[in-house]
A and B are shown apart, each in its own frame.
Chain A
Amino acid sequence: TQLLEQSPQFLSIQEGENLTVYCNSSSVFSSLQWYRQEPGEGPVLLVTVVTGGEVKKLKRLTFQFGDARKDSSLHITAAQPGDTGLYLCAGGQAGTALIFGKGTTLSVSS
């Protein structure tokens, strides 16, 4: 059974701090997606990484896919209160269902 271990589960930081969320698996994925979910809404796709070693940037968010395509990280620089939310990683094989991590609940206070 494929599993995605996401850490930390909870993160509470001050505005301006940096943070990194990790997603690890013993399985290889053809792609890994990062989502953000707000209360009462569904997950919203932030980015998809597909190539081992790939790095993608979305403003202050940096996403990296491990060389072996078994792990990924999300780094937020200078976090702001608007970054508060649930961040989910999800791995997939081509066309199949996604395997989700449990999520990281981020709280950024001003």
Chain B
Amino acid sequence: EAGVTQFPSHSVIEKGQTVTLRCDPISGHDNLYWYRRVMGKEIKFLLHFVKESKQDESGMPNNRFLAERTGGTYSTLKVQPAELEDSGVYFCASRGQGREQFFGPGTRLTVL
């Protein structure tokens, strides 16, 4: 069974540009989560999808972040326009019927 995959693994962009991160969850997992780790801080929750619906987006920092999960399969997280403080590692996790969340390898975003 394939795990959670994320693309790209690294992204370096200029302030003001747009970046789109992609997450492919484990097949059949209805729950998809986005998290972020900023340097020196703990991993923090961004939002939670159940199938294609946003269950909880209380962790989204501001309206420059847009997450979608069309069709309830893969998800994208777009940052537009990117700011310096958006730099960090973005993790995606998926969960089936159990309580365990399985994490992808993350996307390291650097905003210059």
Interfacial residues, chain A to chain B (CB-CB below 8 A): 4, 31, 33, 35, 40-45, 48, 50, 88, 90, 92, 94-103
Contacts and interface: CB of A to CB of B under 8 A. Distances in A.
Contacts of B41: 102
A99 B59 CA distance: 11
The B contact surface, by secondary structure, is strand
Interface in B29-53: 31, 33, 35, 41-45, 48
Interface of B: 4, 9, 31, 33, 35, 41-45, 48, 56, 59, 91, 93, 95, 99-106
Given A42-B4, A102-B41, A102-B42, A31 B99 contact: yes
Given A33-B100, A97-B33, A97-B56, A43 B44 contact: no
A98 B106 contact: no
